[in-house]
């Protein structure tokens, strides 16, 4: 009980520290910066990323031109997805030094007036499937290289939703364009049962064959 309470306090503290750090930096970003905040969630079989892009007032028009390609003054769903695809091309996501295929789940673009006022955040929701991983220590590496001319970056791992994932450490470069997440993966009861099932069947089969051989009459 005491261990569970201690773990909950650690998890709550980590979540609060992450929110406060990102909020403080977001509120203090300058007019000529393009703030890009990545939140990374690691699950046993998937990595999910929320990437919020907030343009300062001085660079808002440049960002809008990147999205509103026909200059119509409004953002279509197709333009939003094309911009999200461009952003994704500048991202890198690895698991244990092996590249992962990142998929776009959703993109949300606020009203252009909100972007111009430095208030609206463009949000990309991304996901990548992890290969089958053995229990033990693993690493996730994330790199954001979008608009380095005006970009400032944040990157944080979220508290895992699964009890089978435990984040051990987060290491970032000075600019927070890169983050390495060290985590431990424990086998789930379902996985353990699937692993043990063939072995159990083999044991049963072996016992049956052994019994049959003992009952056979000698020649």
Distance (Å, whole) CA 5 – CA 9: 6
State the DSSP code for 121: E
Distance (Å, whole) CA 177 – CA 173: 7
Residue 30: band (very low, low, confident or very high) from pLDDT cuts 50, 70, 90: confident
Residue 218 belongs to a domain: no
Residue 219 belongs to a domain: no
| pLDDT > 90 fraction of the chain, expressed in percent and rounded | 70
Distance (Å, whole) CA 57 – CA 62: 10
What domain range includes position 138?
2-185
**Bridge partners of 35?**
54, 152
Average pLDDT value for residue range 124-142: 97
Total domains, the chain? 1
Three-state secondary structure call for residue 48: strand
State the chain's mean pLDDT as an integer. 83
Average pLDDT value for residue range 53-78: 95
Q: What is the 3-state secondary structure (H, E, C) of 56-75?
A: CHHHHHHHHHHHCCCCCCCC
Residue 202 belongs to a domain: no
Contact predicate 49/93, CB 8 Å: yes
CA neighbours closer than 13 Å in the CB half-sphere of residue 82:
12
Residue 18 belongs to a domain: yes
Residue 7 belongs to a domain: yes
Residue 216 belongs to a domain: no
Distance (Å, whole) CA 18 – CA 39: 9
Residue 18 scores a pLDDT above 70: no
Residue 53 belongs to a domain: yes
Distance (Å, whole) CA 95 – CA 101: 10
Contact predicate 159/15, CB 8 Å: yes
pTM of the model: 0.75
Residue 196's pLDDT is what? 41
Report residue 28 as tokens.
């203090």
Residue 44 belongs to a domain: yes
């Amino acid at each position: 009980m005491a261990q569970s309470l201690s773990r909950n306090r650690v998890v709550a503290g980590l979540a609060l520290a992450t929110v406060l750090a990102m909020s403080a930096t977001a509120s203090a970003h300058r007019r000529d910066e393009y703030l890009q905040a990545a939140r990374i969630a690691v699950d046993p079989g998937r990595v999910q990323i929320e990437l919020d892009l907030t343009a300062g007032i001085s660079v808002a028009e440049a960002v809008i031109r990147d999205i509103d390609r026909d200059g119509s003054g409004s953002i279509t769903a197709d333009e939003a997805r094309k911009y999200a695809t461009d952003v994704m091309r500048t991202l890198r996501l690895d698991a244990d030094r092996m590249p992962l295929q990142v998929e776009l789940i959703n993109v949300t673009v606020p009203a252009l007036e909100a972007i111009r006022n430095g208030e609206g955040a463009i949000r990309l929701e991304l996901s990548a499937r992890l290969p089958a991983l053995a229990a033990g220590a693993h690493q996730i590496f994330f790199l954001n290289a979008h608009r380095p001319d005006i970009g400032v970056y944040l990157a944080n791992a979220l508290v895992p939703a699964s009890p089978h994932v435990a984040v051990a450490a987060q290491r970032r470069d000075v600019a927070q364009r890169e983050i390495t997440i060290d985590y431990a993966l424990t086998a789930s009861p379902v996985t353990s049962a699937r692993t043990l099932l063939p072995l159990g069947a083999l044991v049963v089969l072996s016992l049956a064959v052994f019994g049959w051989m003992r009952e056979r009459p000698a020649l």
